[in-house]
Amino acid sequence: MDVAELSPAQARERFRAGLRVPTAGWCRGWTQANLIAVPRWLRYELLLFAHHNPQACPVLDVGEPGAWSTALFSGDLRTDLPGYRLYRAGEAVADLDDVVAEWREDLVPFLVGCSFTFERALQAAGVPVRHLELGTNVPMYLTNVPCRPTPSLSGPLVVSMRPVPEELVETAVEVTGRYPMVHGAPVHVGDPAELGIADLASPDFGDPVEVRAGEIPLFWACGVTPQAVVMASGVEFAIGHLPGHMAILDARDDDYRTAS
């Protein structure tokens, strides 16, 4: 069965069984989200950080302390993502298939919008999405753009990149601008050096894709940003998803499209 045709429950079942795979292209029409779970004492600051940086950290849902499901995610957040990354003292210490043993009673899970949400709309508008064509993970990069900090949370903006044929750049900007809750329009069009990205072929997360002649790289704010911030800020304990290995929500991509 084509993974695009799976329901969120069917996909989660596969991930729960141990499949570790990027979720780009999975469960067509269903919204995917970034996970960042932090200790309760940090939840106010994380929510404030998200408020200060809405394009990078659009909060779709938040759970109660210790909860492993939320209003928009009826599965088990400890097992139903294809991969997890564990942080201690700001260091990524392990990539895991589940985090049942690590899920503390005071952990507060945040689900943050993901640009996979607008990829179907890009394709429908005739904009090719290379990493979907290749069946790989989207390339993501740390930038030299600082997020607006809070007293104890600071760090760089993370972006995802998609190469777009020159004549379709305007379309891509317009289409994604209709999805402000899942990063919206690109934060940058063109020269990666302006974001401090030295080499597009070496993404910090995900897989590289070719930028062909006549194509322009477009950069969107990315929901991996909170994980970069956890690292830069030396947060004592946090759990994120493995970049590109998302939580698949019980919500529809169209729910996040604005009217215009």
In terms of CB distance, is 48 or 232 closer to a second copy? 48
Q: How many other β-carbons are positioned within 10 Å of the β-carbon of residue 96?
A: 18
Instruction: Give the residue with the Cβ less far from a second copy, 62 or 132.
Output: 62
Binding residues (CB under 8 A) for a second copy: these are 43-44, 47-48, 50-51, 59, 62, 64, 151
Instruction: Please name the amino acid found at residue 53.
Output: N
Separation CA 135–CA 115 (nearest Å): 16
Contact 144, 195 (CB under 8 A): yes
CB of 242 to a second copy, least distance (A): 26
From the CB of 245, what's the least distance to a second copy, in Å? 26
Amino acid in position 33: A
Task: State in angstroms the smallest separation of the CB of 211 from a second copy.
Answer: 28
Pick the closer one to a second copy by CB: 67 or 232. Answer: 67
Pick the closer one to a second copy by CB: 10 or 69.
Answer: 69
CB of 243 to a second copy, least distance (A): 24
d(CA 247, CA 120): 17
Q: Which is nearer to a second copy, 55 or 137 (CB)?
A: 55
Distance, CA of 95 to CA of 110 (rounded, Å): 19
Give least dist CB 116 to a second copy, A: 22
| Spatial distance between the Cα atoms of 152 and 147, rounded to a whole number of angstroms | 12
Take residue 51 and report the two structure tokens written for it. 């408020």
Rounded CA Rg of the chain: 17
Q: How far is the CB of 150 from a second copy (least distance, A)?
A: 9
Which residue type, as a one-letter code, is found at position 209?
V
- Residue whose CB is less far from a second copy, 131 or 188: 188
Q: What angle do CA 228, 229, 234 make, to 5 degrees?
A: 105
